[in-house]
Amino acid sequence: MPHTITLPAADGTLQPYTLRGPGSFTPAAPGTRLNRIAFSAAHVVADARAAVDPWLDCAIDWDATIAYRRRLWSLGLGVAEAMDTAQRGMGLDWPTSLQLIRRSIDAARDLPGAFLASGCGTDHLAPEAARGIDDVIRAYEEQMAAIEALGGRLIVMASRALARVARSPADYERVYDRVLRQAREPVILHWLGDMFDPALKGYWGGATVAAAMDTALGVIHAHAGKVDGIKISLLDKDQEIRMRRRLPPGVRMYTGDDFNYAELIAGDGSGEHPNQRHSDALLGIFDAIAPAASAALAALAAGDETRFHAILAPTVPLSRHVFRAPTRFYKTGVVYMAWINGHQDHFVMVGGQQSTRSLPHFAELFRLADAAGLIEQPDLAVQRMRTLLALHGVPT
């Protein structure tokens, strides 16, 4: 039986919308061998019943948060833990992040084949409190030691404090030299563009992306044995491809391009070494489109690139909508998708971030999710969307 709901349209009117229903794709079966490494940066589920001030305090529903990670692992995806998708630096503080990392590491041990890497940054050091480069190095070292003591693998996140105190590319080279020399095993570097975090403007000390890329590549080539790969989130596929072709043999490009991920993961076949011909993935949007991502990656591994693109193509408009400017508010769309699909009981976020997008934004996201086959339980999704409409004063 068709499901119909009245939604706000772009012109402000209310119009009926009839759902198409779940997609025809089937996620990868557990144990399916994929030919791309695919991490989903995972969101956290707030404890909506905690007696805290959401703008000031962080309360997490640990059971629901870890259950979502188990879901991602069951679909063949890895988890990139305590990253910006988990509201790191936008509500999730370092002590809570470390607790999250510990719980996820423990959960991953219970699931054969589950893979996990965790964000290591300097966010316990307020940028304005950093007096110089040595403060940034110490902050990185503190988080590295804590995560490695738990047996965790590192994603070295970009540092707001470093962006504030660095005066030249040499300062970035000094910091990353110290960090990488000490890492127990190869790390993933994370270059987050200022569209995701305005405090990171000018990262790597370059006035242009090309200059910044030269510095980052210099660091990678100098420490290739300690770098598993680099994730770049610039939302510019051409810059990613240029950088990918200049990586040392064996160092992976993890796409963070939530606008062009399908073609970047498929690759273009050009490049002297295999790692230069396609991107692997470390994407926030994979949290929201996990079943489609799993099915598409399984198709690609089976040699069916046409099917891969057919599954992912409808998810791209959804992703572009979720990550539209101001891009830093994309986490709200990710959590909304988890809520309407029944993976958490409420639409409340750490820091009250559910308020960062408008009702028309959610209405369009609902339509795009349906077009991509990502409304998993239409009855529930319609019920929850009607709740959100009523909360905004729209008759249902």
Query: What whole-number distance in Å separates Cα of residue 241 and Cα of residue 253?
Result: 9
- Looking at the domain assignment, is residue 9 inside a domain? no
- Looking at the domain assignment, is residue 329 inside a domain? yes
- Looking at the domain assignment, is residue 167 inside a domain? yes
Entry pTM: 0.95
- Looking at the domain assignment, is residue 364 inside a domain? no
- Measure Cα distances from 296 to 23, 24, 266, 291 in Å: 12, 12, 10, 9
Output the pLDDT for position 271. Answer: 84
pLDDT bucket at 174, cuts 50 / 70 / 90: very high
pLDDT bucket at 2, cuts 50 / 70 / 90: confident
User: Which amino acid is present at 320?
Assistant: R
- Looking at the domain assignment, is residue 293 inside a domain? yes
The answer to whether the CB of 322 falls within 8 A of the CB of 288 is yes
List, for residues 230-289, the tens digit of each pLDDT value: 999 999 999 999 999 999 999 999 999 999 999 999 999 888 898 899 999 999 999 999
- Looking at the domain assignment, is residue 124 inside a domain? yes
177 closest CA partner among 142, 133, 208, 211: 133
**Which residues, including other chains, have CB under 8 Å from residue 224's CB and lie 6 or more apart?**
248, 250, 251
Using the predicted structure, report yes or no on whether residue 359 has a pLDDT greater than 90: yes
List, for residues 17-37, the tens digit of each pLDDT value: 999 989 999 999 888 889 999
Domain that holds residue 286: 36-357
**Structure tokens given for 395:** 């008759």
Query: What whole-number distance in Å separates Cα of residue 198 and Cα of residue 200?
Result: 5
SS3 for 346? coil
Provide the number of structural domains found in the chain.
Answer: 1
What CATH number does residue 126 fall under?
Answer: 3.20.20.70
Output the pLDDT for position 69. Answer: 98
List, for residues 296-337, the tens digit of each pLDDT value: 999 999 999 999 999 999 999 999 999 999 999 999 999 999
pLDDT bucket at 1, cuts 50 / 70 / 90: low
- Looking at the domain assignment, is residue 143 inside a domain? yes
Within 10 A of 309 (CB to CB), how many other CB atoms are there?
16
- Looking at the domain assignment, is residue 4 inside a domain? no
What does the DSSP assignment read for 6-69? EEE-TTS-EEEEE---S-S--PPPTTPPPSS-EEEE----B-TT--S-TTT---B-HHHHHHHH
**Structure tokens given for 384:** 């929850």
